[in-house]
């Protein structure tokens, strides 16, 4: 069932229920009004009855016939247990009835005391109940027609209104379908920018489609770059192998060719390793308590061994234990320190690791030439290189991998230019908050530790 039909039926049903409740209240009010006014009318007839009987001689047998009352009212007067006056068609009622006004035997009956020639008597005045029932029946008949008519009218009106209100949804749906077919997720959606609910829906869809388009473009770019980077070593390998087969070679030449071929295979293996690392999902990462300062210290030591003449300082303080993946964090440290080495032109470097209550912070800073400001936001793009010529063996994936590792740990990474020159990379890795009563002396900040 469409929203339009559901809305029309729902509103019609609600209207019918509301009208019926109102009608029931009105019905009860009308009935008590009619009963009360009938009682007043009968009371108003008492003086007329007394006046008629006062002026006529009374005999018990036969009783006097009352003639002064309207035609739809009957009356009887009882004195000393005997009917002394009565109208022609008085209903079959007992002689003694409690005083008051009540419905009896299909009539509204008023029983009231009166004094006839100095003696007490009781008057019973009965009016046909139709005086009350007829207007009520007419009211119910009117309701039987008006309630369904009102419900039908409301259903038609709300269906028309719903159709009008839902028209933008149909337009939005058609536009979204066109977007999918035309493969252009950046086309503007109708209704976007409006301040109502549909405008907000269109805005949300537009934002999601734009994000999807961004992701798709990034993926296409990534695949193109990966294919391109794999193609070069593959082509080189092919040329080398074809060359070796085409002309006879000495054993030494063949060994040299094989060494070069192995270097090509190495490059391709590194690239595929990097691509696999970038594609890793959070579920494949197993976080265990790791001391980031220990890992950084080891990475610094290894870097110092490979280039002992470059100054590389290491400072750490505070509690630097985090839930982390040791192999991934080692890769992150080596990529950052390696970059400082490769692009820092031998300038001094400092690695700092320190603990804060909710996170551990790592900074890798060098005083090299740094990167231009406009390149800073692009550093984590896969295959992005500021100056490919200076990258040597690099393929532009190092910082993309750093970014992915930080993401897998739920952290953040920031690249900033340092003054007067150089690059500073700040990595924040979160750690679970210690509960208040488990803090102990060991977790408080220690004095800075330098090597």
Ligand X SMILES: Nc1ncnc2c1ncn2[C@@H]1O[C@H](COP(=O)(O)OP(=O)(O)O)[C@@H](O)[C@H]1O
108 part of the interface to Mg ion, by CB under 5 A:
no
Binding to Mg ion (CB under 5 A) within 87-106 occurs at none
Window contacting Mg ion (CB under 5 A); options: 89-97, 118-126, 128-136, 395-403:
395-403
DSSP state, 284?
G
What CA–CA distance (Å, rounded) separates 386 from 376? 9
- Taking CA atoms, 303 is separated from 181, 344, 411, in Å, by 54, 14, 25
CB of 397 to ligand X, least distance (A): 6
Tell me whether residue 237 or residue 397 sits nearer to Mg ion (CB atom): 397
* Residue 155 interaction partner, one of Mg ion, ligand X, none, beta carbon < 5-8 Å per kind: none
Least distance CB 394 / Mg ion (angstroms) = 5
- Name the token pair of 288: 């265990």
Q: Which is nearer to ligand X, 169 or 376 (CB)?
A: 376
When the beta carbons of 108 and 335 are compared against ligand X, the nearer one is 335
- The encoded tokens of residue 406 equal 């930080």
Contact residue for Mg ion among 297, 318, 340, 398 (CB under 5 A): 398
What does each C-alpha distance from 162 to 5, 19, 152, 157, 319 come to in angstroms?
9, 22, 15, 9, 62
Query: Looking only at residues 193 through 212 of this chain, which bind Mg ion when binding is defined by CB under 5 A?
Result: none
Binding partner of residue 197 among ligand X, Mg ion, none, CB under 5 to 8 Å per kind?
none
* 385, interface contact from ligand X, Mg ion, none, CB < 5-8 Å by kind: ligand X
Smallest gap, in angstroms, from Cβ of residue 166 to ligand X? Answer: 50
Q: What is the DSSP letter of 259?
A: H
Q: Return the structure tokens found at 358.
A: 């909710």
Total of chain residues touching Mg ion, rule CB under 5 A:
3
Q: Is 112 helix (H, G, I), strand (E, B) or coil?
A: strand
In which region does residue 33 sit, left (phi positive, over 0), alpha (psi from -120 to 50) or beta (all else)?
alpha
Whether 353 contacts 298, CB under 8 Å: no
User: CB 350 → ligand X: shortest distance, Å?
Assistant: 12
> Which of the choices Mg ion, ligand X, none does residue 387 contact, using the CB cut-off of 5 to 8 A by kind?
ligand X
User: Considering beta carbons, is residue 7 or 303 the nearer one to ligand X?
Assistant: 303
In the complex with ligand X, which residue's Cβ is closer, 82 or 272?
272
Q: Return the number of the residue (23 or 376) whose C-beta is nearest ligand X.
A: 376
Give the residue closest to Mg ion by C-beta.
398
Residue ranges binding ligand X (CB under 6 A)? 335, 339-340, 343-344, 366, 368, 370-371, 379, 384-387, 391, 394-400, 423
- Cα separation, 8 vs 380, whole angstroms: 55
Place of tokens 């009218």: 153
396, interface contact from Mg ion, ligand X, none, CB < 5-8 Å by kind:
ligand X
Out of ligand X, Mg ion, none, what residue 84 binds, judged by CB under 5 to 8 A for its kind, is none
CA 261 from centroid of its chain's CA atoms: 57
Is 191 or 368 the residue whose CB approaches ligand X more closely? Answer: 368
Residue 344 interacts with, from ligand X, Mg ion, none (CB under 5-8 Å by kind)? ligand X
| Nearest distance in Å: CB 226, ligand X | 13
Rounded to the nearest whole angstrom, what is the least distance from the CB of residue 337 to ligand X in the complex?
9
Give the chain's length: 451
User: Which residues inside 309-348 make contact with Mg ion, applying CB under 5 A?
Assistant: 339
Which of 80, 36, 40 lies closest to 58, judged by CA?
80
Query: Phi and psi dihedrals of 372, rounded to 5?
Result: -60, 150
Which residue, 53 or 397, has its beta carbon nearer to ligand X?
397
Sequential DSSP letters for 185-208? TTSPPTTTT-SSHHHHHHHHHHHH
Shortest distance, position 299 Cβ to ligand X, whole Å: 15
* For ligand X, the closer CB: 112 or 386: 386
Burial class (CB in 10 A: 0-12, 13-18, 19+), 24: exposed
Tell me how far apart the alpha carbons of residues 172 and 194 are, in angstroms, rounded to a whole number. Answer: 13
Shortest spacing between CB 386 and ligand X, in angstroms: 3
DSSP 296-361: HHHHHHHHHHH-TTS-EEEEEES--EEEE-HHHHHHHHHHHHHHHHHHTTT--EEEEEEEETTEEE
Residue with tokens 């079959």: 92
Least Cβ distance, residue 387 to Mg ion (angstroms)? 12
Q: Which is nearer to ligand X, 79 or 395 (CB)?
A: 395
Binding site for Mg ion (CB under 5 A): 339, 394, 398
């Amino acid at each position: 069932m469409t929203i339009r039909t559901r809305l029309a039926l729902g509103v019609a049903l609600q209207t019918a229920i509301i009208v019926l409740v109102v009608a029931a209240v009105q019905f009860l009010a009308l009935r008590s009004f009619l009963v009360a006014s009938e009682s007043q009318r009968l009371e108003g007839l008492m003086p007329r009855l007394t006046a008629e009987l006062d002026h006529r001689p009374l005999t018990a047998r036969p009783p006097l016939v009352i003639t002064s009352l309207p035609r739809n009212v009957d009356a009887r007067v009882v004195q000393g247990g005997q009917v002394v006056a009565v109208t022609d068609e008085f209903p079959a009622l007992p002689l003694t009835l409690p005083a008051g006004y009540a419905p009896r035997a299909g009539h509204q009956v008023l029983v009231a005391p009166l004094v006839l020639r100095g003696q007490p008597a009781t008057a019973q005045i009965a009016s046909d109940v139709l005086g009350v029932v007829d207007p009520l029946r007419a009211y119910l008949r009117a309701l039987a027609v008006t309630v369904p008519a009102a419900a039908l009218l409301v259903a038609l009106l709300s269906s028309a209104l719903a159709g009008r209100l839902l028209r933008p949804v149909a337009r939005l749906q058609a536009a979204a379908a066109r977007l999918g077919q035309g493969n252009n997720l950046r086309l503007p959606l109708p209704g976007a920018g409006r301040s109502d609910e549909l405008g907000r829906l269109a805005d949300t869809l537009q934002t999601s489609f734009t994000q999807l388009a961004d992701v798709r473009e990034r993926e296409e770019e990534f695949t193109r770059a990966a294919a391109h980077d794999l193609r070069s070593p593959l082509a080189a390998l092919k040329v080398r192998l074809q060359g070796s087969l085409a002309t006879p070679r000495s054993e030494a030449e063949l060994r040299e060719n094989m060494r070069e071929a192995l270097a090509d295979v190495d490059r391709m293996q590194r690239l595929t390793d990097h691509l696999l690392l970038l594609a890793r999902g959070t579920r494949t990462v197993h976080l265990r308590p790791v001391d980031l300062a220990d890992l950084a210290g080891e990475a610094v030591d290894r870097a110092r061994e490979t280039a002992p003449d470059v100054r590389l300082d290491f400072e750490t303080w505070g509690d630097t234990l985090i839930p982390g993946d040791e192999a991934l964090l080692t890769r992150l440290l080596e990529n950052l320190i390696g970059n400082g080495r490769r692009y820092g032109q031998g300038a001094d470097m400092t690695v700092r690791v320190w603990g804060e209550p909710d996170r551990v912070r790592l900074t890798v800073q060098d005083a090299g030439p740094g990167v231009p400001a406009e390149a800073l936001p692009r550093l984590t793009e896969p295959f992005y290189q500021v100056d490919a010529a200076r990258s040597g063996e690099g393929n532009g994936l190092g910082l993309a991998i750093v970014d992915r590792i930080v993401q897998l740990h739920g952290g953040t990474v920031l690249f900033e230019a340092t003054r007067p020159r150089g690059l500073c990379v700040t990595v924040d890795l979160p750690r679970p908050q210690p509960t208040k009563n488990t803090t102990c002396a060991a977790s408080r900040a220690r004095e800075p530790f330098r090597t």
